[in-house]
Amino acid sequence: MRKPTSRLGLVAILMGGMAAASPTLAQQVPAADNSTHDRVEEIIVTASPIGAKRFDILQGTSSLSGEALDRAQSTTLGEALDRLPGLSQTGFGAGASRPIIRGQGGDRIRVLSGGIGSIDASTTSPDHAPALDLATAKRVEVVRGPATLLYGNNAAGGVINILDGRIPVAEPKDGVDGFARIGIGTNANERSLAAGVDARLDGPFVLHLDGFYRQTGDYEVPGLLESAILRDAEGEEHGDHDEEEAEGRVANSDLIQKGATSGLSYIADWGFFGASASRLESNYGISAGHSHADHGHEEGETHAEEEGEEGPVRIDLGQTRLDLMGEVNQPLGPFETTRVRFGWADYKHKELEGSETGTRFLNKGWEGRIELVQRALGNLSGAVGVQANSRDFQAIGDEAFVPHSDTDQMGIFTLQRLDLAPFAVEGGVRLERQNVQASSVDFDRDFTTVSVSAGASRQWGGGWMTGVSLSRTERAPNAEELLSDGAHLATSTYERGDSTLGKETGLGVEATLKKSGGPVNGSVNLFVIDYDQYIYERLTGAEEDGLPVAQFSATDARFWGIELEAETTVLRNDQVTVTLDGGVDYVRATDRDANTPLPRIPALSARAGLGLELATVAARFEGVWTDKQKRTAALELPTDSSLVFNASMDWHPFADQDITLLLELRNLTNEEVRLATSFLKDVLPQPGRDFRLSLRAGF
């Protein structure tokens, strides 16, 4: 068995690599050096309405586009983004894995499509997939840490924004711009197809069309489905149950996903205005293994037998969505730009038990926002805005664990930035009102939340920047946390809400060090957030209907951690470029009232990569190490460490055409990987070795 690297030693090694590129070294780079990395000018639109450069942003940010986005293609959003700094996933099978940022997920992470929420049921349960897909996305942006000022109190942990281009904002070059991609994967016999096009019509109109289709069989895992830790915990009882010895392919993990979008925009000198309509459908299986997660084996066996009688459980979801977006670059009083965004969706999914329909989930909702960007007043820039959304959520069936509810939110906000080179100061405030109603249980509560932030930064010579930000966020409890009362078989728990829960308040500080330009680029982010009345699911030790009771409770909690990423060019000439990169993620979360760990927190992880670029070929090899997670909550088992190797190669066979052949090898050594963040970690490992091939053509 591998001996895990010391946590402090690993962090020290990688931070030492950053220190090796200290300002003293940076000053040795000639002033005429033009090797400044592209990230200096990269704009992260999700982080600020005034167009902040990534280098200037105090919070941790990431983005994916181009070939990096092609390499990230996956059946779930969580798996696709899992290798980004500070991100992990819920790991709920091939059809439903939602991203986790800095140990926080669910209703604290907003997943957006072009700045508007996904309007689905993905935050209510880890087996519910977000109604979004990266197959036709043009770019993904991630903001790690509180983003409540812009996106509401449900963004207390961060934001993931998928920029899909479904509403064109500019005319395509040469009148037409598009792509087509086909791909295969060996692990689950995956087949996928995606295409999109923007075309200029007569006059000032631009048409957008895109679509995708993906199908997989059951995926394969190395070894047994049940972890060695769970088998050891069960002892002699384990040998009595054949289903626990399952290995190889995960039954009922196949899926079909498809979607299509059409959009039309009016493009003019003053800006644009457009609309789009989309349809997304997904049918995926839920592994029967979840019936054993985190509770007594006898109860798990009973449920598994019942599930076997009913047939395999599948989710069949569909969403119809309409979007509007516009931008006017004309003066309006003290403002120079007006942006409008609106989305409406009708989401439905059925939980199929064999040939029968079990529980149905319905969610109709809308969200809109207006942003007014100020004309610069000397060195002061900023924006004000208003955002509102409404959600009508209903669960129908024998396993409906939450009553029909209506949630309305409305907030106003402002963000301001003062540039006093080499210093910059920024701050903002948001006032928000939330109402939750459930007439069937005579529930009606209002919440008012106020979130504020402030930060300062200084840019130094040689491309260095240091900064610190402070935040105070408030989040109101959602309908599930307040009103749940029933068996939730996806997580094998009986969930109980608490209608008396109040607001949770987070006080946070984040320090950042960034380096860009010259031979080394990188960043270090250190963060601490103290929560008052932090809401989470706590296993009580009691049972209801043969399931362990999970009570939504409030406690004082602390999250702290570090994110480090660095890259350097070790060789560059006319024939070849060789780069090295690496990173470290660590988060620690504690229930301060009980002085015990919070559940399902990701383990320390580190990654290192080697990149090679030639005239027509780009190759990458990387290793990702994840430490054991022994710091677990009550009734939660620890998780073993893992070391995963991945490799990829992009080939551009024609210099004058945008054609790329991508070969990927994921989990080369067929390592057994279990996620500490997953409810199913002890009964459902991550996929094993996977060879993937795709061909992409742009036009």
pLDDT digits (tens, 9 = 90+) for 262-279: 999 999 999 999 999 999
3-state secondary structure of 481: helix
288 pLDDT band, cuts 50/70/90, is low
Count of domains in the chain? 1
- Please give the residue that has the higher pLDDT: either 653 or 235: 653
Q: Quote the CA–CA distance of 77 and 79 in Å, as a whole number.
A: 6
529 touches 507 (CB < 8 A): yes
Distance of CA 109 to the CA centre of its chain: 7
Beta strands 109-113; 158-163: pairing state: parallel
Averaged pLDDT, 540-553: 92
Query: What SS3 string covers 283-327?
Result: EEEECHHHHHCCCCHHHHHHHHHHHHHHCCEEEEEEEEEEEEEEE
Q: Quote the CA–CA distance of 281 and 423 in Å, as a whole number.
A: 49
User: 421 lies in a domain?
Assistant: yes
**What CATH code is carried by the domain that includes residue 476?**
2.40.170.20
User: 315 lies in a domain?
Assistant: yes
How much of the chain exceeds pLDDT 90, in percent?
Answer: 81
User: 1 lies in a domain?
Assistant: no
pLDDT of residue 490: 73
For the chain, the distance separating the N- and C-terminal CA atoms, rounded to the nearest angstrom, is 50
Any idea which residue has 């054993």 for tokens? 292
Q: Quote the CA–CA distance of 444 and 331 in Å, as a whole number.
A: 42
598 touches 613 (CB < 8 A): no
pLDDT of residue 292: 34
Phi/psi of residue 498, each to 5°?
-140, 105
Q: Quote the CA–CA distance of 211 and 258 in Å, as a whole number.
A: 7
User: 407 lies in a domain?
Assistant: yes
223 touches 249 (CB < 8 A): no
pLDDT of residue 245: 62
Domain span at residue 156 reads: 7-698
pLDDT of residue 423: 98
Q: Quote the CA–CA distance of 531 and 598 in Å, as a whole number.
A: 12
Beta strands 690-698; 158-163: pairing state: unpaired
pLDDT of residue 482: 98
ω into residue 548 within 30 of 0, thus cis?
no
Q: Quote the CA–CA distance of 613 and 127 in Å, as a whole number.
A: 40
pLDDT beyond 50 at 329: yes
User: 327 lies in a domain?
Assistant: yes
User: 284 lies in a domain?
Assistant: yes
Helix residue spans in 20-137 (DSSP H): 23-26, 66-71, 77-81
Q: Which amino acid belongs to residue 212?
A: F
Averaged pLDDT, 415-428: 97
What is this structure's pTM? Answer: 0.90
Reported as a single tens digit per residue, the pLDDT across 73-113 is 999 999 999 999 999 999 999 999 999 999 999 999 999 99
447 touches 503 (CB < 8 A): yes
3-state secondary structure of 86: coil
pLDDT of residue 10: 38
Q: Quote the CA–CA distance of 300 and 626 in Å, as a whole number.
A: 29
Q: Which amino acid belongs to residue 467?
A: G
Q: Which amino acid belongs to residue 430?
A: R
Of 264, 75, 289, residue with least CA distance to 185: 75
pLDDT of residue 13: 35
Work out the mean pLDDT of the chain and round it to a whole number. 90
Reported as a single tens digit per residue, the pLDDT across 311-325 is 788 999 999 999 999
User: 2 lies in a domain?
Assistant: no
416 pLDDT band, cuts 50/70/90, is very high
Structure tokens at 627: 């430490």
Distance of CA 686 to the CA centre of its chain: 17
Q: Quote the CA–CA distance of 628 and 336 in Å, as a whole number.
A: 52
Averaged pLDDT, 281-310: 53
pLDDT of residue 237: 53
Reported as a single tens digit per residue, the pLDDT across 478-508 is 999 999 999 887 778 899 999 999 999 999 9
pLDDT of residue 310: 60
Reported as a single tens digit per residue, the pLDDT across 590-601 is 999 999 999 999
pLDDT beyond 70 at 37: no
Averaged pLDDT, 336-365: 94
Q: What are residue 563's DSSP bridge partners? A: 525, 585
Averaged pLDDT, 13-40: 37
Beta strands 493-496; 547-572: pairing state: parallel
Averaged pLDDT, 398-420: 95
* Measured torsion, CA atoms of residues 398, 399, 402, 405, in degrees rounded to the nearest 10: -50
pLDDT of residue 651: 98
pLDDT beyond 50 at 295: no
Reported as a single tens digit per residue, the pLDDT across 367-383 is 999 999 999 999 999 99
pLDDT of residue 235: 78
Structure tokens at 287: 């592994």
pLDDT beyond 50 at 253: yes
Q: What are residue 327's DSSP bridge partners? A: 272, 339
pLDDT of residue 12: 40
